[in-house]
Amino acid sequence: MLFTVNEIADLLQGELIGNGKLGINEFCAIQEAVPGSITFLANARYEKYLQTTRASAVIVQQNFKPTHDIPASLILVKDPYASFVQLLKHHQTTNSPLKKGVELPSHLGEHVEVGINVYRGAFSYIGNHVTLGNGVQIYPHSYLGDHVTVGQNTIIYSGVKIYPGTQIGNDCIIHAGAVIGSDGFGFLPRGDGSYEKIPHIGKVILEDAIEIGANTTIDRATLGHTHLKKGTKIDNLVQVAHNVEIGTHTVVSALTGLAGSAKIGNHCILGGQVGVTGHTAMGDHTVVSGQSGVTKSHPKGHVTLMGMPAMERKKYIKMYVIFKRLHDIYSKSL
Amino acid sequence: MLFTVNEIADLLQGELIGNGKLGINEFCAIQEAVPGSITFLANARYEKYLQTTRASAVIVQQNFKPTHDIPASLILVKDPYASFVQLLKHHQTTNSPLKKGVELPSHLGEHVEVGINVYRGAFSYIGNHVTLGNGVQIYPHSYLGDHVTVGQNTIIYSGVKIYPGTQIGNDCIIHAGAVIGSDGFGFLPRGDGSYEKIPHIGKVILEDAIEIGANTTIDRATLGHTHLKKGTKIDNLVQVAHNVEIGTHTVVSALTGLAGSAKIGNHCILGGQVGVTGHTAMGDHTVVSGQSGVTKSHPKGHVTLMGMPAMERKKYIKMYVIFKRLHDIYSKSL
Amino acid sequence: MLFTVNEIADLLQGELIGNGKLGINEFCAIQEAVPGSITFLANARYEKYLQTTRASAVIVQQNFKPTHDIPASLILVKDPYASFVQLLKHHQTTNSPLKKGVELPSHLGEHVEVGINVYRGAFSYIGNHVTLGNGVQIYPHSYLGDHVTVGQNTIIYSGVKIYPGTQIGNDCIIHAGAVIGSDGFGFLPRGDGSYEKIPHIGKVILEDAIEIGANTTIDRATLGHTHLKKGTKIDNLVQVAHNVEIGTHTVVSALTGLAGSAKIGNHCILGGQVGVTGHTAMGDHTVVSGQSGVTKSHPKGHVTLMGMPAMERKKYIKMYVIFKRLHDIYSKSL
């Protein structure tokens, strides 16, 4: 047993209605809940499941007034989803203690500074002049080139490849297979139509509390920095090209590509498979619908963009409504 | 020499016309065939190559009536392409025996169950409480976290990263660099515009006979499972988000993204670079054209979708025909 | 100090105006330059920064006539950007000497031919019958299957996975996490709706001077070869399917997918997130705009394509102009 219902109600500072002595050993979605589990009701759409759920306990909104008898114990809180997430975090922290220590064989270069409570997994490779803060976790098969710095409590999962000189802040999570600091895609055309590689001597800076998804790639700058600011979250298989800047607390979904020197503001949300043209600027609080192509600057932000080339979502939808009727309209006009 | 033409005719239970004693040591496409090779004719479009092919033998349809003299020996079968594939498989099985044994150094955790005839390559990492069925092949640099289970005869190529708790069935193939079980991309917005990470305590289940392409990513569920059913094939660089369900014998092409909790039916075919919005349901036998964006549910299936937002292909094409003429139509109407 | 301004002027065979004794120890973009740095002015748009730049030296066009006093020393050359790139290359060559030697543990198979001045990083895996030319660099965690050949001075960064039989030329760069030679995505439908895997016994050939981006995937051919010709550059997260051919000096941007047997000409430029349908042919000097879908052959080349399905850019833009006005046009016509 992980918890009693009473313990959970205490942890969440919630009001208990029903049996507090029941044991909870699983977390479920309401429609898939099993006896012995706890779930939550955050969305009125799911209220119908309350009568039939097999969960032993449900976290609900504090103003919730059940119209029927509910078989489960209820825990009333201000924000059921946030409380459920809090419970999950508590569970994860107590049941999945961080890894520590050094597994062998692993490679440690020269002039490396290693904090306390660091995990270095088997077959991990730490180059020369690397700095690892306290509590850093380096999983197996990860590679940190020379002069990489990693802040406190950052987790680098298996098979991450970090090129030399990259700077990573505190409390970041880098998922498996991500590549950070590879050369930007820049070539100088020669007279004969062949290409000369432009050396990329800049680097990548990730500030604190950044999450990078699995197999995402972030190129180093030609000169200067590719720079992701505090709290930004990048999904899987995203391409961030050389010299891109992303502001604070911005969210970029999977398979999106940001071309060279694109500037993305703070608090933006980019859907999946979005493309952003190089050397454009996107203001704060911009939202971009999935599969859109942002081909020019929208520096004022506070707008939702859609389409390829992307325009204001409202405008796009007005046209799309006509587009969908094009055949009918044209047939009628003949 | 790999075979004589006679041996191949026997293996395929085909009828031989021509010299059965010729030696075959290569497999070729008909237009690129070299002496000593075998090829096949499955498509009438390629029949013109029959007179000029340098192949020593050609597998043809059993009703095939050559109108000219054919220089090559012919093997007549019911389905030439299927027979050619059968021959390739026979060749591959006899000439590329499975790897076995343990290369050192490699990491084996505690409480691991390992079947017979298992290959564990150098620098592979097997966590604690892992189960590997008979005939499993783990190539170099692969990582299997704690409590992963892998069914019989599954092949895990080099550099695959499998997070803890993932369940993989029998006869699966996971290509190099794939990541399975990484955290879903889920965050709770805080009042100040920053994001709180939602713990992902669910897992990934791959049933039997699944193939996962190189550098594809499959996220674990928030709660419950991300679930791929029997016989489904996923191409390279595909993103499968948390809590996605894919039915049996469905095919997903490269660079496609399936957002969180999307449900894809059985026997579907998704083209390349398709996007599917989260929490949508796609019925059985749905086909989606490349680069389409499926933004809502199409639960009945048995339909071909196209466009962004995707609609029935026929409808889309009718409109697209007008779209292509828009400039002319509009100019004329002035 | 890396250079004096005089040394740089000599190296670039440029004419010096100003103080040649200043020391240079950094390379910067003109708007971000710091004292002690050198920058360049290649684009008239940036000329305004010349008065205010803090750079100690600026490389400018030989016909440049400053209209005001310029604080920095100037070096006059024929092509400022090319000269700056030449300087970067000189700097990189002298300051980042190539890695050499063998780090342990690393795996070396049997019957391997290794040239001189080869680097094999820790945890790298070289299979049997592999050939490595002089000056080849294999970074940690890279995997080369049996019978792989790698030409002189090719760099294979960390965690690259190369399947058996792949042939790589001289002077190539393969970035971290790239997968080369994985099975093509080809299956034969069985009568019951399940799929039979088609063995892929072809291979991948990369000619000389090719660059492959991070986490890009290149599948082996079913029969014959997947073939990239001399000088071609592929960005990150690109999918190159089985039997694709790409000509010389072609550039393919990130997240683009080339389906099976697509043929791309010489000197083409493909934008990001482009899709190319299988069994199509694209002539030399074709340019494809980002996010376009090329669904048919354009064998003559020398054209810019746009849209999905892609058509000539001029034509697409003419229609798109009308599309953007559709709502207005339709409202007016009522």
Q: Which residues of A fall within a CB distance of 8 Å from C140? A: 107, 125, 143
Phi–psi pair at A150, nearest 5 degrees: -130, 125
- Helix and strand totals (H; E) in chain C: 4, 40
Q: What is the pLDDT of residues B209-226, one digit of tens each?
A: 999 999 999 999 999 999
**Interchain CB distance below 8 Å, B105 and A103:** no
In this structure, which amino acid lies at residue B209?
Answer: A
Nearest CA-CA distance, residue B128 and chain C, Å = 22
**Interchain CB distance below 8 Å, A291 and B308:** yes
Phi–psi pair at A83, nearest 5 degrees: -65, -40
- CB-based contact B176:B159 (threshold 8 Å): yes
Which of C171, C273, C317 is most worth mutating to test chain A (most A CB atoms within 10 A of its CB)?
C273
- CB-CB: which of B215, B253, B266 is closest to C177? B215
DSSP single-letter state for residue B193: S
pLDDT at C77 over 70: yes
C304 CB neighbour count, 10 Å cutoff: 16
Name the 3-class secondary structure at B86.
Answer: helix
Enumerate the β-bridge partners of residue C3: C24
Nearest CA-CA distance, residue B115 and chain A, Å = 23
Residue B263, both tokens: 């449900």
CA of C306: which chain A residue's CA is closest? Answer: A308
| Cα Rg of chain C (Å, integer) | 25
What is the rounded CA–CA span in Å between residue C170 and residue C157? 15
CA torsion sign for B5, B10, B13, B17 is positive
pLDDT at B330 over 70: yes
Pairing between strand C23-24 and C3-4?
Answer: antiparallel
At residue B66, the pLDDT reads 77
Q: Which residues of C fall within a CB distance of 8 Å from B330? A: 322, 329
In this structure, which amino acid lies at residue A129?
Answer: H
- Catalytic annotation, residues of C: 242
At residue B173, the pLDDT reads 98
Name the 3-class secondary structure at B85.
Answer: helix
What is the rounded CA–CA span in Å between residue C275 and residue C292? 6
A187 CB neighbour count, 10 Å cutoff: 17
What is the rounded CA–CA span in Å between residue C116 and residue C109? 17
What is the rounded CA–CA span in Å between residue C106 and residue C137? 13
Burial of A110 (0-12, 13-18, 19+ CB in 10 A): exposed
- CB-based contact C36:C13 (threshold 8 Å): no
Which of B110, B161, B316, B317 is most worth mutating to test chain A (most A CB atoms within 10 A of its CB)?
B161
- CB-CB: which of C159, C193, C309 is closest to B249? C193
At residue A270, the pLDDT reads 98
What is the rounded CA–CA span in Å between residue B187 and residue C228? 41
Q: What is the pLDDT of residues C102-115, one digit of tens each?
A: 999 999 999 999 99
What is the rounded CA–CA span in Å between residue B307 and residue B188? 32
Q: Which residues of B fall within a CB distance of 8 Å from C199? A: 85, 88-89, 91-92
At residue A321, the pLDDT reads 84
**Interchain CB distance below 8 Å, C157 and A159:** no
At residue A153, the pLDDT reads 97
- Calculate helix-pair angle for A326-333, A313-324, nearest 10 degrees: 50
Q: Which of B242, B249, B298, B327 is catalytic?
A: B242
Q: Report the mean per-residue pLDDT for chain C.
A: 95
At residue C252, the pLDDT reads 98
Nearest CA-CA distance, residue A159 and chain C, Å = 7
Burial of C90 (0-12, 13-18, 19+ CB in 10 A): middle
Residue B286, both tokens: 């749905």
Enumerate the β-bridge partners of residue C196: C188
At residue B334, the pLDDT reads 53
What is the rounded CA–CA span in Å between residue A277 and residue A103? 44
At residue A334, the pLDDT reads 52
Q: Which residues of B fall within a CB distance of 8 Å from A214? A: 161, 179, 182, 217, 219
pLDDT at B327 over 80: no
**Interchain CB distance below 8 Å, A198 and C235:** no
Nearest CA-CA distance, residue C224 and chain B, Å = 7
This model of the complex carries an ipTM of 0.96
A242 a catalytic residue: yes
C66 CB neighbour count, 10 Å cutoff: 12
B63 CB neighbour count, 10 Å cutoff: 7
Pairing between strand B187-189 and B195-197?
Answer: antiparallel
Measured CA distances, C128 to C107, C108, C149, C163 (Å): 10, 8, 11, 12
Which of A138, A156, A161 is most worth mutating to test chain C (most C CB atoms within 10 A of its CB)?
A161
Q: Which residues of A fall within a CB distance of 8 Å from C213? A: 182, 185, 217
**Interchain CB distance below 8 Å, B323 and C318:** no
In this structure, which amino acid lies at residue B159?
Answer: G
Omega cis (within 30) before A299: no
Longest dimension (CA), chain C: 81
What is the rounded CA–CA span in Å between residue C161 and residue A195? 26
Q: Report the mean per-residue pLDDT for chain A.
A: 95
- CB-based contact B158:B176 (threshold 8 Å): yes
- Calculate helix-pair angle for A313-324, C313-324, nearest 10 degrees: 100
What is the rounded CA–CA span in Å between residue C141 and residue C158? 6
Burial of A104 (0-12, 13-18, 19+ CB in 10 A): exposed
DSSP single-letter state for residue B262: -
User: Which region holds residue C158: left if phi is over 0, alpha if psi is between -120 and 50, else beta?
Assistant: beta
pLDDT at C98 over 90: no
Q: What is the pLDDT of residues C309-331, one digit of tens each?
A: 999 999 999 888 888 887 777 77
What is the rounded CA–CA span in Å between residue B67 and residue C260? 32
pLDDT at B254 over 60: yes
At residue A235, the pLDDT reads 98
pLDDT at B332 over 70: no
pTM: 0.97
- CB-based contact C263:C276 (threshold 8 Å): no
In this structure, which amino acid lies at residue C66?
Answer: P
- CB-based contact B281:B297 (threshold 8 Å): yes
The pLDDT confidence band at residue B27, using thresholds 50, 70 and 90, is very high
Nearest CA-CA distance, residue B316 and chain C, Å = 12
- CB-CB: which of C29, C272, C330 is closest to A257? C272
What is the rounded CA–CA span in Å between residue B21 and residue C2? 72
Residues of chain A below pLDDT 50: none
Q: Which of A111, A242, A267, A327 is catalytic?
A: A242
A181 CB neighbour count, 10 Å cutoff: 27
pLDDT at B97 over 90: no
Shortest CA distance to C242 belongs to which of C217, C210, C269?
C217
CA of C322: which chain A residue's CA is closest? Answer: A319
Nearest CA-CA distance, residue A197 and chain C, Å = 9
- CB-based contact C221:C200 (threshold 8 Å): yes
Alpha helices in B34-142 (DSSP H): 80-95
The pLDDT confidence band at residue C143, using thresholds 50, 70 and 90, is very high
pLDDT at C200 over 60: yes
> Residue written as tokens 């029997």?
B230
Which of B148, B163, B239, B263 is most worth mutating to test chain A (most A CB atoms within 10 A of its CB)?
B239
- Helix and strand totals (H; E) in chain A: 4, 40
Shortest CA distance to B163 belongs to which of B141, B183, B185?
B183
At residue A333, the pLDDT reads 61
- Spell out the long-range contacts of A61-64 with Cβ–Cβ below 8 A and sequence spacing 24 or more: A62/A14, A62/A15
At residue B189, the pLDDT reads 95
Number of alpha carbons in the 13 Å side-chain half-sphere of residue A153: 6
Residue A167, both tokens: 């700077």
At residue C333, the pLDDT reads 62
Residue C164, both tokens: 């058996």
Measured CA distances, C44 to C41, C47, C64, C75, C88 (Å): 7, 5, 10, 16, 22
In this structure, which amino acid lies at residue A148?
Answer: V
Shortest CA distance to A89 belongs to which of A152, A27, A46?
A27
What is the rounded CA–CA span in Å between residue C10 and residue C89? 15
Q: What is the pLDDT of residues B154-164, one digit of tens each?
A: 999 999 999 99
- CB-CB: which of C85, C290, C323 is closest to A319? C323
Name the 3-class secondary structure at A246.
Answer: strand
C324 CB neighbour count, 10 Å cutoff: 16
Residue C25, both tokens: 């120890």
The stretch C271-285 carries a mean pLDDT of 98
